[in-house]
Amino acid sequence: MTAWRQVLELTIGDEDLSRLTAIARSRTEPASRVERARMLLAYREEPSFFAVGRALGVHHQTVQRCVERAVAYGPLTALDDRPRPGREPTITAEAKAWLVDLACRKAKELGYPHELWTTRLLARYAREHGPAAGHDCLASLVQGTVCKILNSHEVKPHKVRYYLERRDAEFEDKMAEVLCVYREVAILKKAAAGSKKSTEAVAVVSYDEKPGIQAIATTAPDLPPKPGVHATFARDYEYKRHGTLSLLAGIDLLTGKVHALVRDRHRSREFVEFLKLLDAAYPAHTAIKLILDNHSAHISKETKAWLADQPAGRFAFTFTPKHGSWLNLVEGFFSKLARSVLRHIRVASKQELKDRIMAAIDDVNRHAVVHTWSYKLNKAA
């Protein structure tokens, strides 16, 4: 006698339904959870184990077990495997703690030439020294187990994440000074937009140097892309160095114009030369305010001597804090220049590199963009 088809009443709330839908469409969830979420959603639309199994390519008993667990424990709980007894762990909690503590030290501290651990090296050290430390269970430790232990504690001793240490005791105060200058720029822009007249009373320039721009030449011609052959430019791996150049540049934060010099070095005399360039670019009654970092050329005797000969109020410097160059808006311009012009650049000489950099500056000035700083501006006094 054929048994009646069994139908289980599966109730899924709105919150669980939206969660199941997201999991069923996910590309990062484990495949088992995605498959079970699809089973439950399909069974909700058509409560038939056979129909759902046929549609998803699984056995109807697999669908039945998933639905029964969802009815008994809840839809989201049914997505995960039930805990199994398994074998008792052979590595003790104390041994794991010892291994994690070891991973939090540098390999060089224990006599290795390596700066950081590799999981293979860490496993070898644990096998050699673990039993002596009272952890006999580590005598046959393998690399895969090390990875699992470290992952469970979210420790990655083979990687480095950089951070920026604040070494300036007056960081907050100096940052506030820079932000106040940006606030002044915002006020001047608003006033100029309201009167529809450009002001010449003050100019605010964000300035910095980009040293070490390499003049690199190819030793063989680049090969252009060919459809169906190779999609990119092809370049011989050999190259020839012609030296480096330094770009001294400042952005007028009110007009967007970039003032620039390209020189072999960026000493005090080059910085004074840049100040002379600014002096010639603005009317005599304009106060020129510069935002710049703490490079020695900016506060050298040569620079101070030249500034002393200028009219009072002509130049005013606002220094960013140490390790606070990210506060200088010109850094964004340098980043864009490096990505759009300097990346992959090849030249026959330093002079060609200089000409192409200045041509890029001229192109920027033809379509000047007024840069705006908004991050943390609300903290300005």
Give bridge partners of residue 319 from the DSSP assignment: 292
pLDDT at 1: 42
Confidence (pTM): 0.68
Residue 13's identity, in one-letter code, is G
Listed residue (250, 248, 273, 254) closest to 203, CA to CA: 254
- Give the whole-angstrom CA distance, residue 52 versus residue 39: 7
Instruction: List pLDDT tens digits, range 272-327.
Output: 999 999 999 999 999 999 999 999 999 999 999 999 999 999 999 999 998 888 89
Report the residue count for the chain: 381
Is the pLDDT at 212 greater than 80? The verdict is yes
Positive or negative CA dihedral for 236, 240, 246, 252?
negative
97-106, 186-195, 244-253, 306-315: segment of lowest average pLDDT = 186-195
Average pLDDT over residues 79-89: 83
- Give the whole-angstrom CA distance, residue 292 versus residue 284: 22
For the chain, how big is the Rg over CA atoms in Å?
A: 33
- Give the whole-angstrom CA distance, residue 359 versus residue 354: 9
